[in-house]
Structure 1
Amino acid sequence: MNDLWKTLSGFTTKRVADPVRNVIFRTLSRLGVTVQSFNILLAVVVGVLSGLGAVVFIKLIDLFTWIFFDKVHGDLLGRTRALIFILPAIGGLLIAPLIKLFPTEAKGDGVPDAMEAITLKGGILKPRTTLIRTFTAAATLGSGGSVGREAPIAQIGAALGSSVGQFLRLSGEMMKTLVGCGAAGGIAAVFNAPIGGVFFALEVMIGDFSLQTFGPIVISSVIATVTMRAFLGDILQFQVPHYELRSAIEFVPYAVLGAICGVLAVGFIRLLDWTEEFFNDRLRVNPLLKPAIGGLIVGLIAILFPQILGTEMESVNTALFGQGAWFFLLFLGLLKIFTTSVSIGSGGSGGVLGPSLFIGGMLGGAIGKVFSLLFPSVVTTPGAYGLVGMGAFLASVVHAPITGIMIVFEMTNDYKAILPLMEATIIAMVVAKRLLPYSLYTYKLHLRGIDIVSGREMGVLKSLRVSDIMKKEFTTISPSATFDEMVNVFINNPTNYLYILDGDHRLAGVVSFSDIKSFVKDEELAHLVRAYDVATTDVVSVCPDDDLYTALNRFGYKNVEQLPVIDNPITRRLIGVIYRKDLLQAYQKELIKMEFREE
């Protein structure tokens, strides 16, 4: 199947892409289009494409929902509530073959893969990602999977932006910007929140707020939102009651809400990681059945609590209006954490942004009800806590406070709760980062050995280990060796470093050729010198499991050509050496491999 994609791609490039690309650039040259104007034009194109992609994606979800809930559950199963568990299981079976063939493009959230592409692959995402992710995510959502539609459309938009850049053979920096434009457009269109889409791309996807990046992303987000509204209308996601902050004392319960959201957000990240590990490594069944098993678990829970299915948000509106018992709202929020983890962990395709809003709304609604019962004169609008909880929980899951604040503001069109929203969001972020320094997205990349913050170079070096380049040949010398003995060893061995071991074969020191050079012309003093006298005893060393980024930093400590490798910091037994030139060669070779994989 992969060979078929490559064949079709190569055919398209040779027979179609080259002539079209030449016509485009000749036309732009004749019209005298500047680089800045060209970038704006590209942002508009990507905005239109991501907006249309969002419309198609939403309509496809509606189609699958109609098939599963109206035709299968309604006509075939007679709308029997006890049989609703079948629907997510069938959805899992439907997408399982694509997950097996294209795991990166089909399963899970998709945003970490887009972030990895921006950081390590020059913004290159495979064009097939758009089609595969659209189908698998729509099938998962339409069958009732407990996931969100926002992250898939972010990856779909990112893939569309990447496809435009690849078609035009743009530079790596412009490719990254177009991927950000696509992600911003997708989020903006599906949330009907253009400002939130901009900050999602800047805070989460790219991490770059420079003007060169900011301008195209803003344009793309606006155009995508306009495109979506042209087809689906200007829809307000949530209705909120009248809210008024009557006393500064009420900032205290909002702070408590923020802290609780931060703690539970980390629990959500950990649980999602555990369920993915369970389904991937511990569950010994046919991989094609795993998404169906996850769907079956979610479906069985939905018999009693259908609120956890898909992108159901009516319960959030209930919480925003202060309705429902506090313990039931809390239970629904915690239950959504579990079902979303199972849906995604088992291989389902969908995001966490929508579920995070649901969870935050339920938690906030529950806490608001509790405080209104305890302090009725202070907390007069418990529903506002649901609104604040949505932003705080979302921000602490993805580590994007501005995104969380702006998306909630745009989805409710209510500015009155902005102060407690900002307070709770920042507190939630501080607590979450204190407990776990990674967001849900960067944690997944961290587990793959990728440092998304530090960029391509560090990511490559951190993916390689000292053991990959270690040489087991090294030269040792006795601590009591004379000057003449040291000179003879240097002459007879192609090395500039001699290692001293103690009686237990532990690394005790190192003698470099430069350490004995000063004694060459002083024969009288040279006869008195022993190896241990000139050795460096605070030896900088590395272990086999250290990554090459750590090793590169250690090379810089002493500006040496090679480093000793010890078994561990406690026993310090010398087992090999690594050379700076080998580290650089390994880095260059890995970069070349990555380029080939991208092609």
Structure 2
Amino acid sequence: MPVRRPIAVWLRERGSGLMALALFIGVGAGFGAIAFRWLIRQAGLLFSGHIDYAATPGAAHPWFPGLGMWFLVLAPAVAGLVYGPLVQRFAPEARGHGVPEVMYAVAERGGHIKPQVSLVKALASALCIGSGGSVGREGPIVQIGAALGSAWGKLTGLPRQRLRVLVACGAAGGIAATFNAPLAGPFFAMELILQSFTAEAFGAVVLASVTASVIGRAVMGNEAFLSLPAFRVHSPFEFLLFALLGVLIGASGVLFGKVLYTVEDLCDRVWRGPEWLRPAVGGLLLGALLLVLPQMYGVGYPIFDRAVSGGYAIGFLLLLMIGKMLATSLTIGIGGSGGVFAPSLFIGAMGGTAFGMLAQDLLPGMGLSPGAYGLIGMGAAFAGATRAPITGVIVLFELTGQYSIILPMMLALVVATLVSRTISKGTIYTTKLRRRGIDLESRHLRGRLPDRTAGTIMEALPEKLSTDTTFREASEALAHSSDAVLPVVDAEGRYQGCVTAHTVAEALEGEEYPEGEIGALAEPVPTVRSTMPLLDTLEVLVEAEGTGLPVLGPEGGEPVGWISHQALLESMHTTATLR
């Protein structure tokens, strides 16, 4: 039940009340991130015998040395037997990479997220990552923090607009604490979750992020998340290489999204059993991949360090890059739970370092640092996959602690974002929603137009004019029409087009009522079909004469209804009231 007055009034209506809730959510997100990382650590120890198996790829499980590497085949399957039924029974939305669900909840559900999602997501993702799932932990911590913010917002009876902000506070706090990145958290929440900026929302998100970071640092330390070599630009010519890197690695980020959903579709087509069993059976296939390429086990942060430090040859770096795309896609496709943020960084690090090593071989006199290109490649792949360049720059700066990367990083990320927009409609996050028929990217264009079609709000056809209607009769009918446009049918009732008040007025110039019939003035009008989204319908209405148009069936032909500006406004008002 909502908190009683007067505290409830203060929390719901005052800016200071929102800040107090943001502070509280930051505390919860900070401790949630600590608990989540502990869960991953314990799951890793249980299933692999190592805190992070990627640091010692190919090693045997110390509890079962006789199995050698073959335990890798069983670990994901055993974990799947546990988290598969857990997710299916209590929180199906905890399956997958998490961020799209939070984006949808904020944009279309007023910030409402089931409270049990926090616990189920934490357990499922920890088991998945700890047993070898090749996914990241940022997606889960975003969903965990967001569910916490939603739960407390609903408990205190916040209006929907503030509830959304509190969800973003939880997401920002989770990112900030788990990556020791108090700047990245707010920008991630504003650019990807809220997709808008207001001073009040930004202040609340920053407060939650700082609070969560302080708690995270107190427990987990204050070291940079990645230990990478020092970086500096040796020549202005290198900026051309950084731009080329942005093109290539930005395209690889888009490719990652394509592979992810292709593999997921393939898994959907092949699997015919119960969903709760899918992670276990699919885990055997994932385990076989890990047996061939054990570097794909878990998040893989130790591989980052070794790659950018020059520990791998070009060919193996490219193998790791492709392997990560496949391993992450397979983990998600079989029903695993984890994020795609860290895998996109991994892909960029491998591809960027390979690019830097190749450039070094071709331009030996420039003193290039391949690891620096791996570092910038991380941000470029993230920008290509998500189109969030601001977040990418901030995240990489905080993860590495190196200010010298800012200019090259900004160039590469902007180029990667432009490449992504050119070759792909959606991002790795929004594509998941697009496949369900939800287009969040057009939301800023449609304002509060709901995700519906013209057929769902169309009205009955107004009075039809026959082709033999006289000008006097037509002008009187149009004078009483609210839309200044009416449909015209022939003697057999077949649709011939529309006639507008403007057209009739022009015909009447100089004559009171000329001889002839109105059918001569009927003309085709822009087509609206019953299956057309309201955003597209609005664009057609804006270009048409009058304020209404006939709605044709899915295949065209005869009108099945009528739509007007007024109907669209009413649908927007209804949506705003429900939010």
Asked whether 1:390 is paired with 2:378, we answer yes
Match of 1:577 in 2: 561
- 1:77-103: per-residue Cα shift (whole Å, max 9, x none)? 745202311111222222222332355
Distance 1:356 1:112 in 2: 16
Do 1:479 and 1:501's aligned partners in 2 also have CA atoms closer than 8 Å?
yes
Distance 2:241 2:501 in 1: 67
Do 1:451 and 1:462's aligned partners in 2 also have CA atoms closer than 8 Å?
no
Paired residue type of 1:391: G
Asked whether 1:112 is paired with 2:96, we answer no
- 1:58-112: per-residue Cα shift (whole Å, max 9, x none)? 1111121122123995435745202311111222222222332355432011111
Q: Describe how 1:517-528 pairs up with structure 2 within 5 A.
A: 526=513, 528=515
Asked whether 1:325 is paired with 2:313, we answer yes
Paired residue type of 1:263: A
Match of 1:380 in 2: 368
The structure-2 alpha-carbon separation of the partners of 1:237 and 1:561, relative to structure 1 and needing over 3 Å to count, comes to closer
The structure-2 alpha-carbon separation of the partners of 1:518 and 1:312, relative to structure 1 and needing over 3 Å to count, comes to closer
For structure 2, the 5+ residue unaligned runs are: 51-59
The structure-2 alpha-carbon separation of the partners of 1:408 and 1:497, relative to structure 1 and needing over 3 Å to count, comes to closer
- Return the offset for 1:116: 1.3
Distance 1:506 1:249 in 2: 69
Percent of pairs with identical residues: 36
- 1:402-449: per-residue Cα shift (whole Å, max 9, x none)? 211121111111222322222211111111111114221122223333
Do 1:146 and 1:308's aligned partners in 2 also have CA atoms closer than 8 Å?
yes
Asked whether 1:38 is paired with 2:17, we answer yes
Name the SS for the 2:562 alignment partner: strand
Do 1:112 and 1:441's aligned partners in 2 also have CA atoms closer than 8 Å?
yes
Name the SS for the 2:529 alignment partner: coil
Do 2:278 and 2:334's aligned partners in 1 also have CA atoms closer than 8 Å?
yes
Do 1:105 and 1:132's aligned partners in 2 also have CA atoms closer than 8 Å?
no
Do 1:451 and 1:458's aligned partners in 2 also have CA atoms closer than 8 Å?
no
Distance 2:76 2:418 in 1: 36
The structure-2 alpha-carbon separation of the partners of 1:559 and 1:512, relative to structure 1 and needing over 3 Å to count, comes to closer
- 1:264-310: per-residue Cα shift (whole Å, max 9, x none)? 11111112122222333453333233222432222111112111111
Name the SS for the 2:403 alignment partner: coil
Distance 2:220 2:475 in 1: 82
Do 1:462 and 1:547's aligned partners in 2 also have CA atoms closer than 8 Å?
no
Superposition CA RMSD, Å: 3.5
The structure-2 alpha-carbon separation of the partners of 1:37 and 1:513, relative to structure 1 and needing over 3 Å to count, comes to closer
Match of 2:57 in 1: none
The structure-2 alpha-carbon separation of the partners of 1:340 and 1:519, relative to structure 1 and needing over 3 Å to count, comes to closer
- Return the offset for 1:114: 1.0
Do 1:140 and 1:348's aligned partners in 2 also have CA atoms closer than 8 Å?
yes
Q: Describe how 1:327-406 pairs up with structure 2 within 5 A.
A: 327-406=315-394
Do 2:122 and 2:140's aligned partners in 1 also have CA atoms closer than 8 Å?
yes
Match of 1:3 in 2: none
Name the SS for the 2:551 alignment partner: strand
Name the SS for the 1:377 alignment partner: helix
- Return the offset for 1:197: 1.1
The structure-2 alpha-carbon separation of the partners of 1:533 and 1:351, relative to structure 1 and needing over 3 Å to count, comes to same
Match of 2:165 in 1: 177
Distance 2:72 2:227 in 1: 29
Match of 1:202 in 2: 190
Match of 1:131 in 2: 119
Match of 1:66 in 2: 45
- 1:28-76: per-residue Cα shift (whole Å, max 9, x none)? 79xxx99343333222111111000001111111121122123995435
Moved more, 79-88 or 445-454: 445-454
Distance 2:8 2:180 in 1: 34
Pick the aligned partner of 2:250 from 237, 258, 262: 262
- Return the offset for 1:209: 2.9
What count of residue pairs does the alignment treat as equivalent?
569
- 1:495-533: per-residue Cα shift (whole Å, max 9, x none)? 9865346899985421357866899999x8536131134
Distance 1:247 1:553 in 2: 49
Q: Describe how 1:199-598 pairs up with structure 2 within 5 A.
A: 199-455=187-443, 458=446, 461=449, 463-469=451-457, 479-483=467-471, 498-500=486-488, 508-511=496-499, 526=513, 528-535=515-522, 537-558=523-544, 560=546, 562-567=548-553, 573-580=557-564
Distance 1:436 1:541 in 2: 28
Distance 1:126 1:178 in 2: 14
Moved more, 230-239 or 525-534: 525-534
- 1:441-499: per-residue Cα shift (whole Å, max 9, x none)? 122223333332454994874522233345786766554554477689999x9998653
Name the SS for the 1:509 alignment partner: strand
Paired residue type of 2:315: F
Distance 1:190 1:338 in 2: 25
Distance 2:348 2:483 in 1: 62
The structure-2 alpha-carbon separation of the partners of 1:473 and 1:207, relative to structure 1 and needing over 3 Å to count, comes to closer
Match of 1:90 in 2: 78
Moved more, 577-586 or 203-212: 577-586
The structure-2 alpha-carbon separation of the partners of 1:418 and 1:551, relative to structure 1 and needing over 3 Å to count, comes to closer
The structure-2 alpha-carbon separation of the partners of 1:326 and 1:505, relative to structure 1 and needing over 3 Å to count, comes to farther
Do 2:91 and 2:117's aligned partners in 1 also have CA atoms closer than 8 Å?
no
The structure-2 alpha-carbon separation of the partners of 1:422 and 1:129, relative to structure 1 and needing over 3 Å to count, comes to same
Paired residue type of 2:535: Y
For structure 1, the 5+ residue unaligned runs are: 1-12
Paired residue type of 2:530: P
Distance 1:415 1:460 in 2: 40
- Return the offset for 1:194: 0.9
The structure-2 alpha-carbon separation of the partners of 1:482 and 1:153, relative to structure 1 and needing over 3 Å to count, comes to same
Do 2:176 and 2:185's aligned partners in 1 also have CA atoms closer than 8 Å?
yes
Distance 2:241 2:507 in 1: 73
Moved more, 269-278 or 132-141: 269-278
Distance 2:339 2:97 in 1: 5
The structure-2 alpha-carbon separation of the partners of 1:304 and 1:495, relative to structure 1 and needing over 3 Å to count, comes to closer
Paired residue type of 2:540: R
- Return the offset for 1:326: 0.6
Do 1:509 and 1:538's aligned partners in 2 also have CA atoms closer than 8 Å?
yes
Name the SS for the 2:375 alignment partner: helix
Paired residue type of 1:541: T
Do 2:8 and 2:157's aligned partners in 1 also have CA atoms closer than 8 Å?
no
Asked whether 1:50 is paired with 2:36, we answer no
Paired residue type of 1:544: S
Do 1:145 and 1:309's aligned partners in 2 also have CA atoms closer than 8 Å?
yes
Do 1:120 and 1:459's aligned partners in 2 also have CA atoms closer than 8 Å?
no
The structure-2 alpha-carbon separation of the partners of 1:112 and 1:370, relative to structure 1 and needing over 3 Å to count, comes to same
- Return the offset for 1:583: 5.4
- Return the offset for 1:559: 6.5
- 1:541-597: per-residue Cα shift (whole Å, max 9, x none)? 3012201232234334447464223357xx8522422243665666667778x77xx
Paired residue type of 1:429: T
The structure-2 alpha-carbon separation of the partners of 1:483 and 1:380, relative to structure 1 and needing over 3 Å to count, comes to closer
- Return the offset for 1:232: 1.8
- Return the offset for 1:204: 0.9
Distance 2:262 2:229 in 1: 38
